[in-house]
């Protein structure tokens, strides 16, 4: 799905980062489920941790998509993936309220983009 911003590896680093974020979420949830099978953590506590990790990773994926689209153009970001990330974040974090999400985005965009530009992530 890399149409612009082709690097020597085929896709932009940020495009690959977005895909990696989702892989990490899947691995994290899978590992947490495995530890639950061993009975080391209560199911309720495990679910809270999984939800928190998933929410944080979803936000990271959103910011990678937003930064990539802003700095390299919308076609540099995996459009279908980024659209799905945005929709899921809006549902989970903002109860589907686009206005709340827009306000949050406006308040946080500069800092999150600066973090990505500096490599702080």
Query: By the 8 A CB rule, do 72 and 4 touch?
Result: yes
Q: For residue 22, what are the domain limits?
A: 13-118
Does residue 2 lie within any of the structural domains?
A: no
19/52 Cα distance (integer angstroms):
19
In this predicted structure, the answer to whether residue 62 has a pLDDT above a threshold of 80 is yes
Q: 0.75 cut: is pTM over it? A: no
Q: At what angle do helices 79-94 and 43-72 cross, to 10 degrees?
A: 130
43/54 Cα distance (integer angstroms):
16
- From the list 14, 10, 8, the residue with the least C-alpha distance to 73 is 14
Does residue 100 lie within any of the structural domains?
A: yes
Tally of domains in the chain: 1
**The tokens of 79 are what?**
């459009």
Q: Which residue has the tokens 């998933």?
A: 54
> Rounded mean pLDDT of 26-38?
44
**The tokens of 8 are what?**
């020597």
């Amino acid at each position: 799905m890399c149409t612009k911003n082709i690097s020597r590896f085929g896709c932009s680093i940020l495009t690959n980062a977005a895909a990696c974020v989702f892989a990490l979420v899947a691995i994290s949830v899978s590992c947490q489920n495995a530890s639950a099978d061993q009975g080391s953590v209560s199911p309720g506590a495990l679910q809270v941790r999984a939800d928190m990790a998933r929410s944080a990773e979803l936000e990271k994926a959103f910011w990678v998509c937003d930064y990539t689209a802003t700095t390299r153009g919308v076609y540099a970001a995996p459009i279908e993936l980024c659209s799905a990330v945005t929709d899921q974040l809006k549902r989970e974090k903002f109860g589907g309220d686009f206005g709340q999400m827009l306000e949050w985005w406006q308040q946080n965009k500069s800092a999150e983009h600066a973090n990505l530009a500096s490599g702080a992530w």
